[in-house]
Structure 1
Amino acid sequence: MEGIKRKPISLAEKLEIIKKVDSRKNVTRVQIAAELNIPVSTLNTIMANRQKLLEKSVTEQSSRKKLKTGKYEQVEVVLLEWFRQKRALNLPIDGNILRKKAVDIALKLNIDFKPSNGWLYRFKKCAGLTYRKVCGEERSVNMEEVDVWRETSLSRLIADYSPKDIFNADEFGLFYNVIPDKTYAFKGDGCKGIKVQKDRITALVCSNMDGTEKLPLLVIGKAGKPRCFKNIKTLPCTYKHNNTAWMTSKIFTEYLIALDRRMASKNRKIILFLDQCPAHPKVLPELKNLKVEFFPANATSVLQPMDQGVIKNIKHKFRHSLVLRLLQRIQSPENMYKLSLLEAMSMLAMSWDSVKQETIANCFRKAGFPSDSAKILEEIEESCDIWPTVQEKFSIDTSFQDFVKADDFLEPCPELELDDLCIAMVPAESVDTIDDVHSDEGKPVPTCSEAIDLLDKFGRFLYSNTDVPEML
């Protein structure tokens, strides 16, 4: 019998073969190989390299037929990671920039290397790099590769998990003291009528696929010991700090370890999907009850559930509460309606608590996670019924949607410097911390009798008024 002619098989085809073998456990590999018209030895090799191929599916071009590394592998690994960071920031990169950066990397690694045109061509081809006009993150996504990932990797990764054990986490930056002001405008954003205080935090939000478990928020600020925390025993969110209020590898690793312990205490095993932001280290500590998987690079805008409307919903509710507070204190000096860090954390926690279960489940469906309900609800732009009053009081024509998006440009994670990338992706150390001199002084702690008296007054207020602000 004439032997089967060997032919090159792309990464996408190999992933499809793995999927076929996994789904047909009662069929022998000899039969499957015959159906696919490939040698049994080829099929066995693919299955033996299963883990390596699955890892490559996240980082390599799916059309590649050979996964051999180049002669200057160390340089290329660092260069590719640098390229992804820049593309994640929507910065244009061309061949000349790649060559110059490759030389810089080689010098830092003490490697004698001169990038030729031939090397550049092979590097781009192997990594699947193309130069596109920068018009936003979503337009840089290769939807073909996204669909392949959804159909092969995603379905396989979540096969052994129920919806309640499939999680996604993401960070977002927040200016928590943004106020309407007709004399201010964002530079380059065309968002007039918004004054930005330099009070920023980064928040990490995490939930499971069916929306039944929303984990407590992690908030990162600049102050090590904010004055508003004085005498406070319990915080509304988990709090960490560094002098940039950014997520770092150290903070994120601590978060993963705590989450792993939380699940171990409940005897649960979960899977957590993350984007490839610089603060999410690829080398992780041993996690027994938590499996971490990364989305393909530059696909956050279409694959990450939290980016499909959850974070936007949180910001909407937070800004709505901020506007209510502002209107109630409109006659007060500015420092009377400025939020302290503790008040901002409380307001943010309440906003997260009020995000509906259906909203989260719908965002997972929109990201391509399989669900019993195939229907994806159209996102309804929530309104703010008191915003016209704000526009009148502050003499601005800024829309509430612009007010909500005022800090969408904030990066929650720092970009790693070239020196950091050259140290084999070692998690970055947390920077030194300082006390926040801008934090409000801690208010006196009320006595038990004073607290009871305040509750009594609050109850009488609720029963005596029909027009009670939503935030109460």
Structure 2
Amino acid sequence: MAPVQKKVEKKGVKKKEMITVEVKKEIIKKYERGMRVAEIARFYKKSTSTICTILKKKEEIRGLDAAKGVTRISKQRPRVLEDVEKLLLVWINEKQLAGDTVTEGFICEKAKALYADLISKLPGASAESEEGFKASRGWFDNFKRRSGFHSVVRHREAVSLNAKAAEAFATEFQKLMVSECYLPEQVFNCSETGLFWKKIPKRTYVTEEENATAGHKPVKDRLTLLFCANANGDFKVKPLLVYHSKNPPGFKKCKVQKSQFNIMCRSNSKALLTRVFFIEWINEVFGPAVKKYLLEKNLPLRALLVMGNAPAHPPGFEDDLLEEFQFMKVKFLPPNTTPTLQPMDQQVISDFKKLYTKALFQRCFEVTRGTNLTFQEFWKNHFHTVNCLKIIDKAWDGVTKGTLNSAWRKLWPQCVLGHDLGLADDPESAVVEEIVSLGKTMGLELNEDDIQELLEEHGQELTTEELMDLHREQQQEAVEEISAEEEVKKAEKPLTSKEIRKMFLEVLFDESFYKV
């Protein structure tokens, strides 16, 4: 009977479902596009350990094409095209962060440029091979399917500013302020911006130490920030920060929580501000803070939020406001007028970035002073996301009331109190001079033009090498995040009966347990 029973039990055992090579490659592609291990595991109904095992063998899995009898025209081209698409995804993400419109033609031109740049670096490359990739419509459709960016392409808007529309809106807005009796304390503006949080002027890399070695070029790793303040300039709302990593290594290293900072943190694979994040910020940060501020000031409980019509906050989001914040109204700026009318774009964000750079230089000076630390060691071991959040908080706090108020000069000049433009208590030129002075103290060669170039570079396009650096860093952080998730998984794993029995016996025979 025993053998028969054993046979019956085997029949009842569920057969292990094999994962095909094609599915494994899909998993690898989803991960490289930024999808998290836990999300992939849920999607394919597999354990995170199974997904991690597949990712660790990704190079081996990619090489299984030959076993399937796939004919390759060139040994180099398919790998180059893979690299092109990886860098293209990073590039598209950066364009979205900058708020730029991306079209099919724009993407195809960039893909061809990346291909030519990468192929030219291969040994024995020729002009013929550089022109071998046409970025056809078929390739583009397949790229959209593989990458999942089905809605990334939008129609190009007019580049030129609509001066007449801006003027008409400003006139209408000023009339509204009078008719509705809004006070500068009750009117707010918010706007997002990208920040290269590891970026310092180019010429700071040119030192004797780095000429003698390979040197270190800080990656253009970018995050998104949402800033908000009122027209009076006396109240700043806690900023929203979006980064591509949910648990950056710096937080684990410093043993701190994101909630300790005066910044609301969110994350997604593209470091993009989304509608969901924006609504969360409105209901959890903006609404409660504005309500408290108005009550403390003994002002009527009514507020107006002015902002651009960006994808993260399209018309109609007021329906998602909690009932207690229904006193808030929203006014959208017309298309193509934000550079002219958006208060945050009138030197506020620029001044923040100057103050951020100043604090970054101060951090570098404090760490390297009296040591033999190289810049490479500073970036690797002494500057991470925790330092970045501290500096963001310090820089935002440093933007003055005068700067915030005078930023409304073009949209609502009647509310401006006559403050001088710029950093009222810390003039712009003085901030730049201090950055230059700190740099020279550390033996760096730079001047005021270098600082201005740095600010302008926030809007410049990344080179192929910079895209490669950014891709590598994001991949490395993703690997570290996987390790962190595995550690948490192990910690949360329930004890087996054998482990429980062992622990019980240890306590049972521990004499100290019985002592009073």
Shorter-chain TM-score bucket reads 0.5 to 0.7
1:221–1:245 CA contact under 8 A, matched in 2: yes
- C-alpha root-mean-square deviation of aligned residues, in Å? 4.1
Are 2:281 and 1:252 aligned? no
Matches within 5 A, 1:45-194: 89=100, 134=159, 140-156=160-176, 159-182=180-203
Q: Distance in 2 between matches of 1:183 and 1:374?
A: 39
Deviations 1:163-194 (A, max 9, x none): 10100001111111113444979xxxxxxx99
Partner of 1:317: 355
Pick from 374, 384, 387: which aligns with 2:436? 387
Normalization by structure 2: what TM-score?
Answer: 0.49
Q: CA deviation at 1:284?
A: 1.2
Alignment of 1:368 with 2:411, yes or no, is: yes
In the alignment, structure 2 segments of 5+ residues that lack a partner are 1-95, 106-155, 207-214, 463-474, 485-516
Match of 1:272 in 2: 305
- Does residue 407 (structure 1) correspond to residue 458 (structure 2)? The answer is yes
Q: Which amino acid aligns with 1:283?
A: G
How far is 1:205 from its partner?
0.6
Aligned amino acid, residue 378 of structure 2: M
- The aligned residue for residue 343 of structure 2 is 305
Checking the alignment, whether the CA contact within 8 Å between 1:224 and 1:435 is kept in structure 2 is no
Deviation at 1:249, TM superposition (A): 1.2
Name 2:378's counterpart in structure 1: 336
Q: Where in structure 1 are there 5+ consecutive unaligned residues?
A: 1-84, 95-128, 135-139, 186-192, 412-432, 443-472
Aligned-partner Cα distance in 1 for 2:238–2:417: 29
Please say if residues 222 and 245 of structure 1, whose CA atoms lie closer than 8 Å, have aligned partners that are also in contact.
yes
Alignment of 1:224-243 (within 5 A): 224-230=246-252, 231-233=255-257, 234-243=260-269
Deviations 1:390-443 (A, max 9, x none): 3683445662222233323489xxxxxxxxxxxxxxxxxxxxx9975579x99x
Higher helix share: 2
User: Larger relative CO (CA 8 A, sep 6+): 1 or 2?
Assistant: 1
Larger radius of gyration: 2
Counterparts of 2:329 and 2:247 in 1: how far apart (Å)? Answer: 33
SS at match of 1:371: helix
CA distance, structure 2, for counterparts of residue 194 and residue 227 of structure 1: 20
- How many Å apart are 1:226 and its aligned residue? 2.3
Rounded Cα–Cα distance in structure 1 between residues aligned with 2:416 and 2:444: 45
Question: Which string of whole-angstrom CA distances, capped at 9 and with x for unpartnered residues, describes residues 70-98 of structure 1?
Answer: xxxxxxxxxxxxxxx9x97377999xxxx
Correspondence for 1:283: 316
Asked whether the equivalents of residues 224 and 436 of structure 1 are also in contact (C-alpha less than 8 Å), the reply is no
SS in structure 2 of the partner of residue 167 of structure 1: strand
Please tell me the residue identity of whatever aligns with 1:332: L
1:348-363 alignment to 2 at 5 Å?
A: 348-363=392-407
Q: Over residues 105-126 of structure 1, what are the superposed CA-to-partner deviations in whole Å (9 max), with x where a residue is unaligned?
A: xxxxxxxxxxxxxxxxxxxxxx
**Alpha-carbon distance change, 386 to 270 in structure 1, aligned in 2, over 3 angstroms:** closer
1:137-156 deviations in Å (ceiling 9; x for gaps):
xxx22222211111124431
Question: Counterpart of 1:310 in structure 2: which amino acid?
Answer: V
Change (3 A) 1:263 1:358: closer
Q: Given the superposition, is the C-alpha separation of residues 160 and 381 from structure 1 closer, same or farther in structure 2, using an over 3 Å criterion?
A: same
Cα distance in 2, alignment partners of residues 435 and 93 from structure 1? 30
